[in-house]
Chain A
Amino acid sequence: MSVLFNVESLTKEFPVHTSLVDMLFAGRHRPVVHAVDDISFEVRKGEVLGLAGESGSGKSTTGRLLLRLIDPTGGRISYHGEDMVRISRRRLEALRARLQIVFQDPNSSLSPRMSVGQAIGHPLKIHGLAAAAGRKERILDLMEKVGLTPAEFLYRKYPHQLSGGQCQRVVLARALVTNPEFIVADEPIAMADVSVRALILELMKQLKAEFDLTYLFITHDLATAKYLCDRIAIMYLGRIVEVGSRDELFSRPHHPYTRALLEAVPVPDPDKRRTAEVVRGEIPSAIEPPAGCHFHPRCKFAMPRCREGRPPLKEVAPDHFSACLLD
């Protein structure tokens, strides 16, 4: 399997906006949010890589960094061997036709003033991809494929005339119109109703096969991740604490955080109720994260050593890595 993205030591810090008085006293030591803290991973062609974790773990920031929607503070991202960080503006814009993103809220991703046809066709216009003549056929064809039918009828509709599920289909069609090879899906089903979620998930699976896509699927829901992803990376406070294939990760989770997370997922079956208490506390602040392993204040296996240095990601089984001193 060839590698699409290779990410090394990727870091993103956001400055914390403080008042002028605070800045004067703080001197050179300006507080920053360590949103993504020195992470390395790869995205393989044709896979669905899941990025899972609680809110504030840095998963969305990672997705945006990959597409260079924001600039990293440090580290390298290479896409098919090409340096995405030092790339020229023009080249980046050209590449973006191949790299797309789908956000959580379809309503805020669509302009209320653009009809369905205009919205889906917009990327073609931006990238100068299809002659105006063939454009409409292509859009209608794509609308059929994402289940926006009758396409002719919906072509002229505006987002407020559509249901939430239909809007998310428009967003998917718009992402697909430039024929991308990679899509970042940032919680694409989080806002949808239960029955719509299943439809969107099934659609994404079908589109992946049809268009030969690779997904980075960002989610806080591990049950969904298990359903859709081939490999999953678990993030905690800006770091990847464990990464492995779906079967490995779900049948043999290593990191205590992964285990706590798996334990907490509600199961739609009253016979499989959780019996153990969940791990205490909440994700700490990313401005001053705990020293050493970020998880140690909540970890029941924490040792004095855990406070000292960052545990490296170690291979615990073939293609399964965990960042815990216990391993």
Chain B
Amino acid sequence: MSEHVLEIKNLTIDYPISIGTVRAVEDVSISLRRGEVLGLVGESGCGKSTLGLSILKLVRPPGRISGGQILYHGRDVAAMPDKEILKLRGQNIAMVFQNPLTSLNPLFRLDRQFLETIRQHDPGVKKEDAISRAEKVLESLGIEKKRLFEYPHQLSGGMRQRIMIGLGLIMDPDVVIADEPTTSLDVIVEAGFIDLLNRLRDQFSLSIILITHNLGLVAEIADRVAVMYAGRIVEVGKADRIYHHPLHPYTQGLIGCVPNIKLDQEELVTMGGNPPDLVNPPHGCRFHPRCPRAMDICRRQAPPLKTHAGGQRAACWLYENKEASA
């Protein structure tokens, strides 16, 4: 078995709309190792959520995967028949969304929602067995067993989000994709959720993709970080390299513009302009209209992702002819 649980190769996702085609994800290649937390960061509209959805083949029509492969343990998800996809979702790869209230059914008690999930994948299971499995998961999440017999509205926001991850984990997947899982949570509850993810990762040797715009959150937990801009990965590498030696000017801007409570910042880095229109993206490097260091070549030709010191990869012409300084 390869060390990579998930490998995405040259993935391109298109959304045809009336005025053209939105290329939400373009030629993205990235892999996820066993037991690793990968932070996928970028601003809204950069394609990070679409990328997350595509791993479970959840991209809604008219959106479609128009190129590339998504390999889960070597098998291509994009080419899988629907029946196998249904097994993949939940049993192998779980997804946790932003708002637990819209993901839980308000009309049913949690035990029924757990039961339904388990039966979907394991139709012959006895009710008692399913319930005791659900209770075990709840305990590992730090929720009292009796809460299983309550309705979603009876739980606090943080508890609901833990239930969501519990529903995701009940079939023992090895990959979790968490799309902005803490956006609706308060800071203390958010920190608790991060502790929980860390614990679950060790306990179940989970591989996690954390999709977020919150750079602080990613710094707390991710082993590696991928930065997306306008549908492309502009930089990827180990978390400490990305935060301490960002190469791409977009990454530098993104990190510099976040208030840091441990520092006394005089001024934040500001990036003018807006992310581009993806129907008619700029030629060459898509960041060049906002880039403080744009050169001639940036307007003409898109830079490839090249490997630099420490295994960090960046797509920027600045480092074309010289080795990126550490």
Contact = CB atoms under 8 A, between A and B. Distances in A.
Q: Are A and B part of the same complex?
A: yes
Interface of A: 54-55, 163, 165, 193-195, 197-199, 201-202, 220-224, 226-227, 250, 260-274, 277-280, 282-283
A277 B195 CA distance: 7
Contacts of B271: 195, 198-199
Contacts of A224: 259
B28 to A, nearest CB: 20
A271 to B, nearest CB: 7
A271 B268 contact: no
A269 B219 CA distance: 5
Contacts of B157: 282
B274 interface: yes
Contacts of A220: 186-187
Contact of B216 (A163, A262, A265, A280): A265
B158 A282 contact: yes
Nearest to B189: A282
Nearest to A272: B262
A272 B220 CA distance: 8
6 contacts: A202-B270, A227-B265, A264-B191, A266-B194, A266-B220, A272-B262
A198 B270 contact: yes
A323 B157 CA distance: 27
Given A264-B188, A266-B190, A282-B158, A163 B274 contact: yes
Q: Which of B253, B259, B262, B269 has the most chain A CB atoms inside 10 A of its CB?
A: B259
A195 B227 CA distance: 14
B257 interface: yes
B214 A193 contact: no
B57 interface: no
A274 B259 contact: no
A202 B244 CA distance: 23
B167 interface: no
Contact of A227 (B189, B254, B255, B268): B268
Interface string B254-284: 1101111110010111111010000000000
B189 A270 contact: no
Contact of A223 (B216, B222, B239, B255): B216
Nearest to B257: A198
Contacts of B222: 270
B274 A268 contact: no
Contact of B219 (A222, A263, A273, A277): A273
A261 B261 CA distance: 12
A55 B184 CA distance: 10
Contacts, number: 124
A94 B187 CA distance: 39
Contacts of B200: none
Interface of B: 43-44, 156-159, 186-192, 194-195, 213-220, 222, 239-240, 243-244, 253-255, 257-262, 265, 267-272, 274
Given A223-B216, A223-B260, A274 B191 contact: yes
A304 to B, nearest CB: 25
Nearest to A226: B261
Given A202-B270, A266-B214, A269-B219, A194 B43 contact: yes
B187 A268 contact: no
Given A54-B188, A278-B195, A282-B157, 13 more contacts: A193-B213, A194-B43, A198-B268, A198-B269, A199-B271, A223-B261, A266-B187, A266-B214, A267-B262, A270-B239, A272-B262, A278-B188, A282-B188
B259 to A, nearest CB: 4
A296 to B, nearest CB: 16
A269 B186 contact: no
Contacts of B253: 195
Which 10 residue pairs spanning A and B have beta carbons closest together?
A266-B216, A198-B257, A264-B191, A54-B186, A223-B259, A223-B261, A227-B259, A198-B268, A278-B191, A270-B239
A264 B216 CA distance: 11
Contact of A278 (B192, B214, B254): B192
Nearest to A197: B257
A207 to B, nearest CB: 14
A195 B188 contact: no
A283 B182 CA distance: 16
A224 B268 CA distance: 11
A194 B256 CA distance: 10
Contacts of A262: 261
Contact of B213 (A194, A227, A278): A194
B269 A273 contact: no
A165 B269 CA distance: 16
Contacts of A250: 261
A224 B157 CA distance: 23
Given A220-B186, A274-B191, A165 B268 contact: no
A197 B254 CA distance: 11
B262 to A, nearest CB: 5
A194 B190 contact: no
Contacts of A269: 219, 243-244, 260, 262
Given A222-B261, A227-B259, A268 B219 contact: yes
A260 B261 contact: no
Contacts of A270: 219-220, 222, 239-240, 243
B243 A194 contact: no
A194 B258 contact: yes
A54 B187 contact: yes
B186 A193 contact: no
Contacts of B188: 54, 260-261, 264, 278-279, 282
Nearest to B158: A282
Nearest to A279: B188
Given A266-B190, A266-B214, A266-B216, A202 B267 contact: yes
Nearest to A284: B156
A76 to B, nearest CB: 31
Contacts of B270: 195, 198-199, 202
